[in-house]
A and B are shown apart, each in its own frame.
Chain A
Amino acid sequence: QVQLVQSGAEVKKPGASVRLSCKASGYTFITYKMHWVRQAPGQGLEWMGIIDPSGGITAYARKFQGRVTMTRDTSTSTVYMELNSLRSEDTAVYYCGRDSLDDGDYGDYWGQGTLVTVSS
């Protein structure tokens, strides 16, 4: 069965960077793109970007461009999301979500989420 297992919670200071991982199993990794979405405490969902694991091509929301980098390791079926210059507003749960194989970019399976806390 499809599983997306994300790395554990992180606590970072303002200005630092964080690198989250999302390990996929139960399907052919390079066939499906992967989304990253975040959710601040008590808030809604915010789309950050998407990566195509087959070639590493990415598309980021303009809000995060310059601060976010999404990469993948096909040997371990893992995607990574690095966010730099962290600020308190980046405190959130970060989710990876597998893109559908359909013609549209919606997420059909989601990881359990990783809480990132940014605090001095």
Chain B
Amino acid sequence: DIVMTQSPDSLAVSLGERATINCKSSQSVLYNSNNKNYLAWYQQKPGQPPKLLIYWASTRESGVPDRFSGSGSGTDFTLTISSLQAEDVAVYYCQQYYATPYTFGQGTKLEI
């Protein structure tokens, strides 16, 4: 199984500041034939299901504010929130969908 490791486990950022969450996969999730990274990011608030933010490592889901961005390739990925808003307090997960089982990172708790 591909192991996804996020860092840090928790993060406190001031309102308006940048938040950066890292995700590392135990093997590459880049599919060479189409040059796509099979990596998604989700946001989960307490008592709610996960919400898709980013797919293909850097494509923002429709309706997601442009302060959220994803980057990286191969085994190392980053979710960046450019200017933290109060409503961004949540747990963030990366997930690889390169190979089953489609494993998640352990989550990063983002606080203000």
Which A residues have a C-beta under 8 Å from some C-beta of B?
A: 35, 37, 44-47, 50, 59, 61-63, 95, 97, 100, 102-108, 110-113
Contact = CB atoms under 8 A, between A and B. Distances in A.
Interface in B44-71: 44, 49-52, 55-56, 61
A22 to B, nearest CB: 11
Nearest to B52: A108
Nearest to B95: A106
B108 to A, nearest CB: 10
18 contacts: A44-B107, A45-B50, A45-B95, A46-B104, A47-B95, A47-B100, A47-B102, A50-B102, A61-B100, A61-B101, A62-B1, A63-B101, A104-B40, A104-B56, A105-B102, A107-B50, A108-B52, A108-B61
Nearest to B98: A104
Interface in B65-110: 93, 95, 97, 100-107
B104 A45 contact: yes
B102 A111 contact: no
B6 to A, nearest CB: 9
Contacts of B61: 108
A103 B49 contact: no
Given A45-B50, A61-B101, A104-B38, 6 more contacts: A44-B106, A45-B44, A61-B100, A103-B36, A104-B97, A113-B49
B32 interface: no
Contacts of A45: 42, 44, 50, 93, 95, 104, 107
B104 A106 contact: no
Contacts of B56: 102, 104
A117 to B, nearest CB: 16
Given A110-B51, A112-B49, A44 B100 contact: no
B24 to A, nearest CB: 15
B104 A103 contact: no
A21 B18 CA distance: 40
B101 A44 contact: no
A62 B52 contact: no
A63 B101 CA distance: 9
